[in-house]
Structure 1
Amino acid sequence: MSDLPLIPHWINGTEHHTTGTNTAPVYNPATGEHTRNVTLATESDINTAITAAATAFPTWRDTSLARRQAIIFRFRELLTTRKNELAHIITHEHGKVLSDAAGEIGRGLEIVDLACGFPHFLKGDHTINASTGIDVHSLKQPLGVVGIISPFNFPAMVPMWFFPLAIAAGNTVILKPSEKDPSAANWLAALWKEAGLPDGVFNVLHGDKTAVDGLLNSPVVQSISFVGSTPIAKYIYETAAKTGKRVQALGGAKNHMLVLPDADLDHAADQAINAGYGSAGERCMAISVILAVETIADDLTAKIKDRIQQLRIGDGTNKHEPDLGPLITAAHRDKVA
């Protein structure tokens, strides 16, 4: 498979091709086709990304709020105009149907919108005579290089929870996306470049545990934001905290649905199907358990069973869009089964 396209890192404003030989396969979940490979970072790649982000930080930190805001607005305009391109990338590598992919991007755009108004969030406070003859000031400053470790199930939305605000506040970013669907991260990086973001402010480092540990253990990286499983969230929090980093580690979010006896059962069944099977069933907050109270359980179960049997499963890019796309890998399908 060496003739397949290779997805490189994005470092310092351009594609970065490693000298290492370790790669991971990227599949089209709908067909099972091995479509490309993604580079897995070496220690040298990790150091190069961190150095690029650290070098870019002083200039970006000192860039005026007006200049930063103009770049973020331009990024928003480009993303809004070209979001269909990104949706197709997500569907081809994750498997969710195109409308789900578009919805994911829309939710990410909400945070980009929020970042467009960031000057108001960066204002400090000044209290006169907090105590006799004592005034109190607060000052908000960027941290420096920040790391983002994002999961496979929302390759655009979850990174966009973090990087628009981090960049707006004057930080520089290293994003480590999932190696299962890595192309969305590179597409976003190229869009930042087109929007006028200086080189080194947004970097993409592909990889596995080696890349993750490189970010966690680096004294240069000042914070880590993570979304994923609970065991990995615990590992990331414990490891990063040892080096004094600020950490957001969001792990495990499957929901329970409680249905009371007076519920509209048709509405409840519809919502259970939407929540359980949307985004190929791989939504962090998917409904995986339903607790039906008292006498309604059998009726609700029958309604849900009927709806499940009507679900159309298939390739999310099909013009007659199915209800449910495939799970991301055969191994994941087997685990769920």
Structure 2
Amino acid sequence: MADKKRVLITGAAGFLGSHLCDRFLAEGCHVIGMDNLITGDMRNIEHLMPRDDFEFYHHDVTKFVHLPGKLDYIMHFASPASPIDYLKIPIQTLKVGAMGTHNLLGLAKDKGARILVASTSEVYGDPLIHPQTEEYWGNVNPIGPRGVYDEAKRFQEAITMAYHRYHGVETRIVRIFNTYGPRMRVDDGRALPAFMSQALRGEDLTVFGDGSQTRSFCYVDDLIDGIYRLLMSDCADPVNVGNPDEISLKEFADEIIALTGNRQKIVYHPLPQDDPKQRRPDITKAKAILGWEPKVSRTEGLRRTLEYFKTVVEGQQ
């Protein structure tokens, strides 16, 4: 139908991008997925390929992006997102946050499209205030190994606001906190996939530092709903979307061991440089502006995620 909303989703073959494709198709949109597949996986979207209302472009958004026809929304989710990736491909990480965002903001300006960019809680660095509100400017080491991701996202926010103020582009910025669920890469290096895959393989669980550092885990369906609501809102300022239910990594590892029913022990390794000690979103703004808060409990979310990881790990054995 000609009156269908058309949405471009970059990073479409990634964890969050693929779930966004599902959501926008469920909302009756025509979805254009774009990914250069550096960290994305076509298996995440292969169930969409036969559909008439989905199309896919294998393209790197750091190069000029052109699409024929009208475009209503752009969701910019192209970026490595885990330390194991952005430490391996630091230049590409910086380029997609800078040049990729610049290209997509230009496309949004040209098409009169509303653009939502995926920022991150990493803009707060190793925070000196807790929980983190959107007004906190952060504590980031710009030349540390994690700086390639942190500063790419901070620049992304800055150029997005510049396009909003100077060119009048309709922009939205979501600051995403730790998220988990089906389609996470087993080898992406983050706590949950590492713990689950180690537990399922019968290996000891690796915790960095003493395990007292905290994280707040949001189930992917909740996050996607918050992002969709933000796109449809009138809020141009950054909004935290995440689950404020905070847990230490030691407690989290114990939960995974209990969930899998295995009897591994926890082994401790040195904490990586600039690894944040605390991470918990203040979602006051999301509640007030979007009417959003997470609904899926960690117990239920982990159960669903474990079922996914079982199929992946078993397939590797």
Q: TM-score, normalised by structure 1?
A: 0.31
Flag the structure with higher helix content.
1
Flag the structure with higher strand content.
1
Larger radius of gyration: 1
Which has the bigger relative contact order, CA under 8 A and spacing at least 6? 1
Q: TM-score, normalised by structure 2?
A: 0.32
